[in-house]
Structure 1
């Protein structure tokens, strides 16, 4: 018997989710395009991050699958042999340009394939959880509400990834599955490592930014680098352990509110993030306005660093407000937790 099916099992969130599920005694079928060896290594690492026995990975069933195929490239009657919670977390995450077709194929068409597979084969009582991002709100002004979205033009998003996640949600909202009320859309914030240790098994989001800053800081220590930021810029950093806790609680509860934001009630000001990075790397990061840079243009070094950060720095130029409620909100990232996250990654996570 399988209680939970998790696709994209080698991903950051999915591997920690699987670890938490097996620790609770649930039977889990992990689906991934990656090899079984990679999936088991990722889940084992996640178990260690969560202070759990990494040998519990042996209890996880692993099976290859493909989002590109309508039948997911696996035996659907076997996958859905029992009522289950299906976690659709598989996705392509990239902010690089000219990847629109690939993002659409994975995040939109692939999501539609999983919905069709679930709708056609899942047993009565099963639930479908679609893992999304709070940043599918794009650059639209105003508060992002916990409701099904409407289609928006690609120009209203910072990148094609955000647009693809919006399109996937729009398509899901129009399915019979959504009308039946058997769906939960969990929109995550900026995923970071463990809130107690700072340990992170990810190079995405804020870690990609830190990695670029570290590269230049180590080559030319002591430099000052300015970034154009919104005066009230803040990031909704969400530790993986507390996020998984909220995911499990929401998926096991009533699905009367199908769209939920799993973001902390208080975001981390970019100025605090910059200060934490500057404490652990030989660099001074400074948040400025566009007018400041117009008055004092970037020097060559600053211009190069900004260019290398051009895919993540747009998130510093907006103020975000997400509707959220206490049952879905992970605890805020305190200054102590922020320092743990930055110090662990600069000490352990950066490439040599």
Structure 2
């Protein structure tokens, strides 16, 4: 069995992927900026979250990663001693402004350095798996978005610079020698959330950033009513971490003739349904509103403040997204029951005091 090399090892997806690989008996080398202790703790938490015993973490080899150094600062003779599957999960995820240079350095230049290091040192029989985002489609939502390599577009055609940086990284990857040789897979993720059976989530990104903002205002102003701008058919491609990891493992073992996969569910979650569940668990009433409705009745002061605080994540409510996807080890849809479990766990266990 090939060695599994995973960068971004202390991230949400990376740590759970490592946990699943260790649990099935694979040899794993974890690469991260964080210390060995931090990585092992994150992976142990991920193993527990996935329902596994945490003892396999003792077998984990952890090596320091530096995306801006030659050969990533790695002991390449050790890391690439055998054929491997190299998983590039490391990324900077932020929707906030004034982080453009950092996003380019990590998500574009850092990804190019990871690929170049792999191409220089990986043994024959290796493959490279790039973890991207389905939302690299930007504002082009005349979908379904195809599983094809993207074309260049200007930054103003994206909801945030994070999306643009992930698009640029894919464009660079498409031009690589490894793509020409057929040894690359690109897995574009949806909105990754907690475990489908328990609701447990070891992250504060994405949906959970929005939940945290809503809970902050709900606790301080219980009973308030808030409208948020939404597309009439706004939807979310929520993918629980357990089914996301299972799908990634299936994709990594697939044929390489079609190298791009959207790791999403065929059935999406309407934003209206999300608001209903949130309204049931928090003392606040969230209401989807069209831009025309808001223009007719402008925000009151409280609504304006909430929308300002939530604007970086709530922008995803203003569009409908459809992605081409293949029924390859298809994960189950996020049902109403699963959605309630995800929200209720975070309200009870994940929110700051």
Aligned twin of 2:346: 345
Query: Could you tell me whether the CA contact under 8 Å between 1:262 and 1:328 is conserved in 2?
Result: no
| 1:34-45 map, 5 Å | 34-45=34-45
Runs of 4+ displaced beyond 3 Å: none
Aligned twin of 2:315: 314
Aligned twin of 1:93: 93
Aligned twin of 2:177: 176
Query: 118-127 or 323-332, which moves further after superposition?
Result: 323-332
Aligned twin of 2:161: 160
Counterparts of 2:71 and 2:77, CA distance in 1: 10
* 1:125 maps to 2:125: yes
SS of residue in 2 equivalent to 1:163: helix
Aligned twin of 2:150: 149
SS of residue in 1 equivalent to 2:103: helix
Query: Could you tell me whether the CA contact under 8 Å between 1:23 and 1:52 is conserved in 2?
Result: yes
Counterparts of 1:326 and 1:308, CA distance in 2: 38
| 1:233-252 map, 5 Å | 233-252=234-253
Aligned twin of 1:82: 82
SS of residue in 1 equivalent to 2:31: strand
Query: 138-147 or 193-202, which moves further after superposition?
Result: 138-147
SS of residue in 2 equivalent to 1:44: helix
Query: Could you tell me whether the CA contact under 8 Å between 2:141 and 2:320 is conserved in 1?
Result: no
Aligned twin of 1:292: 293
- Cα RMSD (Å) of the superposition? 0.9
Query: 111-120 or 137-146, which moves further after superposition?
Result: 137-146
Counterparts of 2:2 and 2:114, CA distance in 1: 17
SS of residue in 1 equivalent to 2:119: helix
| 1:2-17 map, 5 Å | 3-17=3-17
Counterparts of 2:228 and 2:106, CA distance in 1: 32
Q: CA deviation at 1:102?
A: 0.5
Counterparts of 1:326 and 1:284, CA distance in 2: 37
Q: CA deviation at 1:328?
A: 5.7
Aligned twin of 2:265: 264
Query: Could you tell me whether the CA contact under 8 Å between 1:21 and 1:28 is conserved in 2?
Result: yes
Counterparts of 2:30 and 2:71, CA distance in 1: 16
Q: CA deviation at 1:37?
A: 1.0
Counterparts of 2:319 and 2:141, CA distance in 1: 9
Query: Could you tell me whether the CA contact under 8 Å between 1:33 and 1:66 is conserved in 2?
Result: yes
Q: CA deviation at 1:2?
A: 6.4
Query: Could you tell me whether the CA contact under 8 Å between 2:149 and 2:171 is conserved in 1?
Result: yes
Aligned twin of 2:187: 186
Aligned twin of 2:228: 227
Counterparts of 1:155 and 1:220, CA distance in 2: 35
Counterparts of 1:331 and 1:258, CA distance in 2: 23
Q: CA deviation at 1:117?
A: 0.5
Counterparts of 1:74 and 1:120, CA distance in 2: 13
- Per-residue deviation, residues 60-83 of structure 1 (Å, max 9, x unmatched): 111111111131011112110000
Counterparts of 1:329 and 1:95, CA distance in 2: 29
Query: 300-309 or 55-64, which moves further after superposition?
Result: 55-64
Query: Could you tell me whether the CA contact under 8 Å between 2:141 and 2:322 is conserved in 1?
Result: no
Counterparts of 1:25 and 1:68, CA distance in 2: 32
| 1:192-211 map, 5 Å | 192-211=193-212
The two structures have a TM-score, normalised by structure 2, of: 0.98
Aligned twin of 1:68: 68
Query: Could you tell me whether the CA contact under 8 Å between 1:261 and 1:329 is conserved in 2?
Result: no
Counterparts of 1:237 and 1:9, CA distance in 2: 22
Counterparts of 1:317 and 1:281, CA distance in 2: 22
- Per-residue deviation, residues 29-56 of structure 1 (Å, max 9, x unmatched): 0000011111111100000000101122
Q: CA deviation at 1:108?
A: 0.3
- Per-residue deviation, residues 101-157 of structure 1 (Å, max 9, x unmatched): 100000000000011011110000001000000000000132211011111110110
Query: Could you tell me whether the CA contact under 8 Å between 1:34 and 1:64 is conserved in 2?
Result: yes
